[in-house]
Amino acid sequence: MAERIVAVGLALALVAAVGQTIVGLVNALVYDGRYLQLDLDREFNVFSWASSAATFAAAFAALLAAIALDHWRARWATLAAILAFFSADDLLVLHERLTRRLFVGVFELPDFESTFATVATRSR
């Protein structure tokens, strides 16, 4: 049963990766990146949501393993916590906000992300 679940999970991951790549390439090559919801480098779009959902599903599976298995319970729980944080970070862009607040607000460094975003937008 476990082998079947892993096989189905791998097949779904492969189909999702190929589909995402095709959509991203079509948006870049055919539509010249006009559709921001199909841009693989952007936040707050379908792809970032799907990535966050997949990471959360892995966190949930690790949590279930921690509950169900006596062997390596602490390791499974730690993995679940780490994956849940990665999912939240992906969905809520936590490290980008923290980095901007820390470097721009505390160290008074220039906001390179905004500068690069402005230059990239103007170059299109």
Residue 119's pLDDT is what? 47
Q: Tell how far CA 31 is from the center of its chain.
A: 24
Q: What is the dihedral of CA 4, 9, 14, 20, to 10 degrees?
A: 150
What's the pLDDT score for residue 109?
A: 62
> Tokens standing for 106?
């505390």
Rounded Cα–Cα distance for residues 48 and 60 (Å): 18
Q: What is the pLDDT along the chain (124 residues), one digit of tens a residue?
A: 667 877 887 888 888 889 889 998 999 999 998 988 888 778 888 888 888 998 999 999 999 999 998 889 999 999 999 999 999 998 888 877 777 777 766 666 666 655 555 544 555 5
What are φ and ψ of residue 43, in 5° steps? -95, 165
The pLDDT of residue 124 is 53
Structure token pair of residue 60: 């949930």
Are 103 and 116 in contact by the 8 Å Cβ rule? The answer is no
Residue 114's pLDDT is what? 57
Q: How far apart are CA 99 and CA 101, in angstroms?
A: 5
3-state secondary structure at position 22: helix
